[in-house]
Chain A
């Protein structure tokens, strides 16, 4: 955190049009919508269910048609096997209406999701695309592929921010009710959503300081708010750890106030990324991947991000997943322009992922960062350095 990221908000007019044009087809282009060759899949969504007519389809164009039988706006998503990257989505399907999208998908494992209320993880199910014998390759002009990748990335950012809202609500409910143990368990998991999209979140001027500043980042005269303010209250330091002064726990009313601020700021973030004029350029995606690994190198490897909870490895995983999603989203384009660079980034990403998975997972939990030896930390640092060199070439390869 703390370093201002590159600007991510191009002019609303031009970009808004691109989003509109591409929202129907998604990122792995592209049979024309409604193509007769497409496999038809119907989806019946309610407020708490998502029934997909089949869980498999042959590789090639697939048309998903969702009918919203619920009471709130909903959307339909097809996600990659990481459960993070959006392959394609159809947004804002009103109650009683139907929406469809056609996407050309290669063989592999995916997830379908209906997202009633438009925020949160939604109702997910595994979806398998079998090999039909025809290779599905990225098609369309380079410009179309880039636009499609940008659209998919915006979908991912919206999805993660929506899940952040839900997870933050749950965390703060535990915190304000005094269930500190539950809050401590939920803290790093909720933050993972933020860490995955941190460079984008940081692009909204005032929000990141209010949401994610560490105590040391705050200027004199400015109130310290957000996740780390609450972190300190959940992992209360001794006087010695607190610069010699006894830590004064927050009162229930103060807890409520900080919780309300965080809720409000997180909702503002959601408003920003779901605004019709929010879009990203291909350079933003690539620079975001670099920015995420820089976050790891400067904040997590050093154990500075989570100085009270020591949950830095959760943040590390979030940042790493964010970088992976950004890279995978543009992988097809890089493959065409500089396949060797693509392979190198992929290899180094895999090395970091393998190394980190040796410590745990978001589901199973990670050890406190203070439990790692200096040798452990150096291995992680070396792997991040090895990744960051080729990754830092991604933007120039894409815009070349």
Chain B
């Protein structure tokens, strides 16, 4: 396809529609404005929210965390060439620019085509607003260097040093089928149907070029990424992400989220690194734990979310404070808050953007529930890996959690108007 034009002919073999090639619509408001500003002005997202697909950074990172998630990891099909891969990214970008504007995947859409062919758009989002949909595309380590070491797309030399294969963390019980992937798409929205619609249609466009490796639904956000949002609770019943990096913290975002050209991969400037971890919570066991035990594990009070060293939710924890009974520190050194806090990690921060999940139940009749952890960071070697190393070794919470899925992706910068995500990598 022509850059920035409609879907490629190949993408269109699934989605032939008339009038598709007319170019990308100017969608949403604030096109080209900084995403952080966008997120800020929107404050908390809502059904009427619409975020631009094009911009300096991809949406879905510092964007006010939406309520629902459908995350998908893909493997590129055998026999797919570098050109095919580029075409896929162009098709995805074009489709995403429409979907995030609340439009059908093509102009012909769900019902505008003839009766003899399948509709271009699958139709379940017809009549629904954009609902704050963001589509965020990332590249896994295996896109650059396959598991067997081959350089399938001539990208090996472009692999960013920060895109490391995550080490084995203590206690990891990873399932290969729920880990890794050549490509990822994070679709977030305030309407679960809109998020699923995006993944479904983008998967369909990819048939023959990439196929789903695993995907995950998240039904409730567990982080707030702007100050205007209230702090949600995770399935442990605790407020999560109180001390998260917020979009308004310009300095923290620049330092801790966005990759810079000087970081070792020029094409990643303005991008970030996404770590996804599927964390199963053994919530039945947790629910048997006393309130005191639960608070000790977390390091915060369950009702207010204040650190056990005192104050209110947003009071900074004081790790030197002594417990009221005088016996030991108020916040246990092996509590989750203590181990994860920047103060105890050389200042390393994470922009967390995780979601609760419940995937039915297991064969023992326990809820298959937990946290689908997502974070964005500028360099996992300095941020996620050391923090998780400490947590996996000592966190009191480990008694109640099990990491079963893991993936890391380089999330490139946003596409300029009419461009496509990944353009800087293939330039």
List residues of A whose CB falls within 8 A of some B CB: 283, 340-341, 344, 348, 351, 374, 378-379, 381-382, 385-390, 392-393, 395-396, 399-400
List of B residues within 8 angstroms of A283 by Cβ? 116
For A340, give the chain B residue with the smallest CB separation. B9
| Contact of B10 with A by CB under 8 A | yes
Question: Could you jot down 8 A-B contacts, CB within 8 Å?
Answer: A340-B13, A382-B208, A385-B208, A386-B207, A386-B208, A393-B16, A399-B116, A400-B114
List of A residues within 8 angstroms of B14 by Cβ? 389-390, 392-393
Residue from the set A344, A374, A382, A390 with the largest chain B CB neighbour count within 10 Å: A382
List of B residues within 8 angstroms of A341 by Cβ? 13
Residue of A344, A374, A379, A396 touching B117 (CB-CB under 8 A): A396
Classify the secondary structure of B's interface with A.
loop
Beyond the given A389-B13, A390-B13, A393-B117, could you list 15 further A-B residue pairs with CB under 8 A, ordered by the A residue number? A283-B116, A351-B79, A378-B211, A379-B78, A381-B211, A382-B77, A382-B207, A382-B211, A385-B211, A388-B207, A389-B207, A390-B14, A392-B117, A396-B114, A396-B117
- Alpha-carbon separation in the docked complex, A371 to B95 (Å): 39
Asked if residues B77 and A344 are in contact (CB atoms below 8 Å), the reply is no
List of A residues within 8 angstroms of B114 by Cβ? 396, 400
- Alpha-carbon separation in the docked complex, A89 to B66 (Å): 64
Asked if residues B13 and A396 are in contact (CB atoms below 8 Å), the reply is no
List of B residues within 8 angstroms of A396 by Cβ? 16, 113-114, 116-117
List of B residues within 8 angstroms of A344 by Cβ? 10, 13
> B67-91 interface mask toward A, CB cutoff 8 Å, 1 = contact, 0 = none?
0000000000111000000000000
Interface residues of B in 4-42 (CB under 8 A from A): 9-10, 13-14, 16
List of A residues within 8 angstroms of B264 by Cβ? none
Interface residues of B in 96-131 (CB under 8 A from A): 113-114, 116-118
For B118, give the chain A residue with the smallest CB separation. A392
Residue of B13, B79, B177, B208 touching A393 (CB-CB under 8 A): B13
List of A residues within 8 angstroms of B117 by Cβ? 392-393, 395-396
List of B residues within 8 angstroms of A389 by Cβ? 13-14, 204, 207-208
- Alpha-carbon separation in the docked complex, A283 to B13 (Å): 18
List of A residues within 8 angstroms of B10 by Cβ? 344
Closest 6 CB pairs of A and B: A386-B208, A396-B117, A389-B14, A396-B116, A390-B13, A382-B211
List of B residues within 8 angstroms of A400 by Cβ? 114, 116
Asked if residues A348 and B116 are in contact (CB atoms below 8 Å), the reply is no
- Alpha-carbon separation in the docked complex, A138 to B140 (Å): 49
List of B residues within 8 angstroms of A395 by Cβ? 116-117
Classify the secondary structure of A's interface with B.
helix
Residue of A374, A379, A385 touching B207 (CB-CB under 8 A): A385
List of A residues within 8 angstroms of B113 by Cβ? 396
User: Measured between C-beta atoms, what is the minimum distance from B69 to chain A in Å?
Assistant: 24
- Alpha-carbon separation in the docked complex, A393 to B114 (Å): 11
List of B residues within 8 angstroms of A382 by Cβ? 77, 207-208, 211
User: Measured between C-beta atoms, what is the minimum distance from B205 to chain A in Å?
Assistant: 9
- Alpha-carbon separation in the docked complex, A344 to B118 (Å): 17
List of A residues within 8 angstroms of B16 by Cβ? 393, 396
User: Measured between C-beta atoms, what is the minimum distance from A249 to chain B in Å?
Assistant: 33
User: Measured between C-beta atoms, what is the minimum distance from A14 to chain B in Å?
Assistant: 20
List of A residues within 8 angstroms of B13 by Cβ? 340-341, 344, 389-390, 393
User: Measured between C-beta atoms, what is the minimum distance from B307 to chain A in Å?
Assistant: 46
For A382, give the chain B residue with the smallest CB separation. B211
User: Measured between C-beta atoms, what is the minimum distance from B65 to chain A in Å?
Assistant: 32
For A379, give the chain B residue with the smallest CB separation. B78
Asked if residues A386 and B77 are in contact (CB atoms below 8 Å), the reply is yes
List of A residues within 8 angstroms of B78 by Cβ? 379
List of B residues within 8 angstroms of A348 by Cβ? 208
For B9, give the chain A residue with the smallest CB separation. A340
List of B residues within 8 angstroms of A378 by Cβ? 211
- Alpha-carbon separation in the docked complex, A387 to B13 (Å): 10
User: Measured between C-beta atoms, what is the minimum distance from B286 to chain A in Å?
Assistant: 32
- Alpha-carbon separation in the docked complex, A386 to B76 (Å): 12
User: Measured between C-beta atoms, what is the minimum distance from B295 to chain A in Å?
Assistant: 43
List of A residues within 8 angstroms of B79 by Cβ? 351
List of A residues within 8 angstroms of B209 by Cβ? 386
List of B residues within 8 angstroms of A388 by Cβ? 207
- Alpha-carbon separation in the docked complex, A395 to B14 (Å): 13
User: Measured between C-beta atoms, what is the minimum distance from A32 to chain B in Å?
Assistant: 34
- Alpha-carbon separation in the docked complex, A390 to B208 (Å): 10
User: Measured between C-beta atoms, what is the minimum distance from B175 to chain A in Å?
Assistant: 12
- Alpha-carbon separation in the docked complex, A340 to B10 (Å): 9
- Alpha-carbon separation in the docked complex, A283 to B117 (Å): 11
List of A residues within 8 angstroms of B211 by Cβ? 378, 381-382, 385
- Alpha-carbon separation in the docked complex, A196 to B396 (Å): 61
- Alpha-carbon separation in the docked complex, A393 to B208 (Å): 15
- Alpha-carbon separation in the docked complex, A377 to B204 (Å): 19
List of B residues within 8 angstroms of A351 by Cβ? 79
- Alpha-carbon separation in the docked complex, A395 to B117 (Å): 7
- Alpha-carbon separation in the docked complex, A386 to B211 (Å): 9
User: Measured between C-beta atoms, what is the minimum distance from B287 to chain A in Å?
Assistant: 34
- Alpha-carbon separation in the docked complex, A399 to B113 (Å): 14
- Alpha-carbon separation in the docked complex, A379 to B177 (Å): 14
- Alpha-carbon separation in the docked complex, A382 to B209 (Å): 9
For A355, give the chain B residue with the smallest CB separation. B78
For A381, give the chain B residue with the smallest CB separation. B211
> B177-198 interface mask toward A, CB cutoff 8 Å, 1 = contact, 0 = none?
1000000000000000000000
User: Measured between C-beta atoms, what is the minimum distance from B76 to chain A in Å?
Assistant: 11
List of B residues within 8 angstroms of A379 by Cβ? 78
User: Measured between C-beta atoms, what is the minimum distance from A341 to chain B in Å?
Assistant: 6
- Alpha-carbon separation in the docked complex, A374 to B16 (Å): 32
For B204, give the chain A residue with the smallest CB separation. A389
List of B residues within 8 angstroms of A381 by Cβ? 211
Residue from the set A379, A389, A393, A396 with the largest chain B CB neighbour count within 10 Å: A389
List of B residues within 8 angstroms of A399 by Cβ? 116
Residue from the set B113, B114, B118, B209 with the largest chain A CB neighbour count within 10 Å: B118
User: Measured between C-beta atoms, what is the minimum distance from B17 to chain A in Å?
Assistant: 11
User: Measured between C-beta atoms, what is the minimum distance from A330 to chain B in Å?
Assistant: 14
User: Measured between C-beta atoms, what is the minimum distance from B110 to chain A in Å?
Assistant: 15
User: Measured between C-beta atoms, what is the minimum distance from A303 to chain B in Å?
Assistant: 18
User: Measured between C-beta atoms, what is the minimum distance from B214 to chain A in Å?
Assistant: 11
User: Measured between C-beta atoms, what is the minimum distance from A348 to chain B in Å?
Assistant: 7
User: Measured between C-beta atoms, what is the minimum distance from B299 to chain A in Å?
Assistant: 41
List of A residues within 8 angstroms of B77 by Cβ? 382, 386
For B77, give the chain A residue with the smallest CB separation. A382
- Alpha-carbon separation in the docked complex, A382 to B16 (Å): 21
List of A residues within 8 angstroms of B207 by Cβ? 382, 385-386, 388-389
- Alpha-carbon separation in the docked complex, A348 to B77 (Å): 13
